[in-house]
Amino acid sequence: MAIQLGDIAPDFEQNSTEGVINFHQWLGDSWGVLFSHPADFTPVCTTELGLTAKLKDEFEARNVKALALSVDPVDQHHKWIEDINDTQNTRVNFPILADEDRKVSQLYDMIHPNSIATLTVRSLFIIDPQKKVRLIITYPASTGRNFNEVLRVIDSLQLTDNEKVATPGNWEPGDAVVIVPSLQDKAELAERFPQGYDEVRPYLRLTKLR
């Protein structure tokens, strides 16, 4: 059965450009972004991995480890990394899984044969420190992902895990958030949101945090 939100991310052991990775152990107490791309030495993938490398400080600030995957062998990954560093003006600073036997691709349902016969599509999973899957997105080979959006979702998850709020459409950090509809107790509302809130509808209450 396909992986669903809230499931424990399946554990695995697989070779990578930084040696063998035991996934859960490697994640430790960090959040994780596990993402597949179709193949090495392809243009869109080259830009995606370059972008991820450039966001190192942003990932670290959020306690997130990135882990890429393609079904090419590790020696090819290493040659490609030289190209990524050269063409994207960065240094790849995260491991790339060499999923030649397609063990991880199959475990995470990353091969969609009606889209590309044997290669992985652009799957991406955000995994929290409890190893729960919190976001799943799947893009076609022809469309590179927006890694600023990945960071935005992590910001939303980390915020909403700690406050009784949710983030509205197109939310960016610093924007108003919505108070979860299940919170109705007036005393708790006053305690949690001393700054007040705008009740547009009883179920739609907006407030600014900090």
Enzyme catalytic residues: 45
CB of 37 to ligand BEZ, least distance (A): 6
* Cα 72 to Cα 75: distance, rounded to the nearest angstrom: 9
Among 3, 7, 10, 44, binds ligand BEZ (CB under 6 A): 44
CB of 139 to ligand BEZ, least distance (A): 11
Between 82 and 185, whose beta carbon lies closer to ligand BEZ?
A: 82
CB of 87 to ligand BEZ, least distance (A): 13
Between 88 and 207, whose beta carbon lies closer to ligand BEZ?
A: 88
With binding defined as CB under 6 A, does residue 45 bind ligand BEZ?
A: yes
* Cα 74 to Cα 25: distance, rounded to the nearest angstrom: 21
With binding defined as CB under 6 A, does residue 142 bind ligand BEZ?
A: yes
Q: How far is CA 146 from CA 67, 119, 189, 209, in A?
A: 16, 21, 35, 26
Contact 84, 92 (CB under 8 A): yes
Residues 99 to 118: which contact ligand BEZ by CB under 6 A? none
Helical segments of the chain, H only: 23-27, 43-54, 56-61, 74-88, 103-107, 147-160, 186-192
Helical segments of 89-146, H only: 103-107
With binding defined as CB under 6 A, does residue 71 bind ligand BEZ?
A: no
Binding interface with ligand BEZ (CB under 6 A): 38-39, 42-45, 141-142
